[in-house]
Amino acid sequence: MEVKIREKFEEEIVEKEKEIREKEEEMTKRVKRMVELESKIREREVETERRNKELEKREIEIVRKEELKKKKEEEDERERLEKEKKIKEEEKIRLEEEEKIRLEKTKKEEGKKMLDEIVREQQRKMKEMMTQIEAMTKEVKTPTMFLGVSWKVESFVKECREYVEIKMKGKTVEDQILWVMTCMDGGIIDRWKEMMKDDPKEGLREYVTLEEFFGEIRKEFGRKGKGKKTEEEIERGMDGFWNAVEEKKKPKVEATTSRIPAVGRGSGFWKR
């Protein structure tokens, strides 16, 4: 009986030991798994730290590159601004030099123009002075008294024009015409003067130039055609001849004062 109890007790002990060993093995396995887990955790931590360091390093590198890039952009912008400033200064200097050259050129041109004007004015005054001296010293023939003869109209007009151009330069057209009329005399001419003063058709007229008056003389006393003299021309010539004879019998006086007709702008003589 005791043997059975002992065997049974031993068997229980064996079973207990077996259970303990199994538990120990299980614990060992658990410890091992925990150790493995801890190792993995440490490895992950190390890897994470390494990655964090790499990220930090990469961020630092990126920041550094950005700073370098920004610094380079700032330097490039500063160089560009300095270059633009230099170009503007050079352009300003060039424009100032061009303006200076233009002003100098303009001054030279104005000076040359002024000098040319002075020279031309001096030449004009000298020419006028020489003309006056020439007019004072030159002997001009006094026109032959016109008596209404048609074939002497052109020579009379030519002589009057030459005399007026030299001796009466600067006088008014009215004074020149009055002087020309002092060189015209004769019965037919006197009638022509009266007719011009009292012309009811054309009325009064003021001559603008002396040539207009010469045209009136040609129209009234000039040759009507070529060839032999007409009876009217012969009559005019004879009339003028006898008037000249009568004039020679009278006392001789200056033509410039005694033969000026009493006419003027308001006298009714000038045709309009």
d(CA 54, CA 253): 138
Give pLDDT, residue 109: 87
Residue 215 CA to residue 212 CA, distance in Å, equals 5
Alpha carbon distance 104, 109 (integer Å): 8
pLDDT tens for the 272 residues of the chain, in order: 677 787 778 888 888 888 898 888 889 988 988 999 888 899 999 999 889 989 988 899 999 999 999 999 999 999 999 999 999 999 999 999 999 999 988 888 888 888 888 988 988 888 877 776 765 666 678 888 888 888 889 999 999 998 888 888 888 888 888 888 888 887 788 777 777 665 545 544 677 888 988 998 898 888 765 444 444 544 555 555 555 555 555 554 443 433 334 333 333 444 43
- Tell me how far apart the alpha carbons of residues 95 and 104 are, in angstroms, rounded to a whole number: 14
- The pLDDT tens digits of the residues spanning 77-92 come to 999 999 999 999 999 9
What is the per-residue pLDDT for 263?
A: 39
Rounded CA-CA distance 227/53 in Å is 137
| Spatial contact of 196 and 271, defined as CB atoms under 8 Å apart | yes
DSSP code, position 152: G
Beta-bridge partner residues of 271: 205
Strand partners, 44: none
Under DSSP, is residue 146 helix (H, G, I), strand (E, B) or coil?
A: strand
Model-level pTM greater than 0.85? no
Specify the pLDDT at position 251. Answer: 54
| pLDDT reported for residue 269 | 42
> How far apart, in Å, are the Cα atoms of 70 and each of 82, 197, 244?
18, 106, 119
CB atoms within 10 A of CB 245: 9
**Distance, CA of 159 to chain centre:** 50
Show me where the domains of the chain are located.
Answer: 67-138, 141-258
CA distance 163 to 138: 11
pLDDT of residue 256: 41
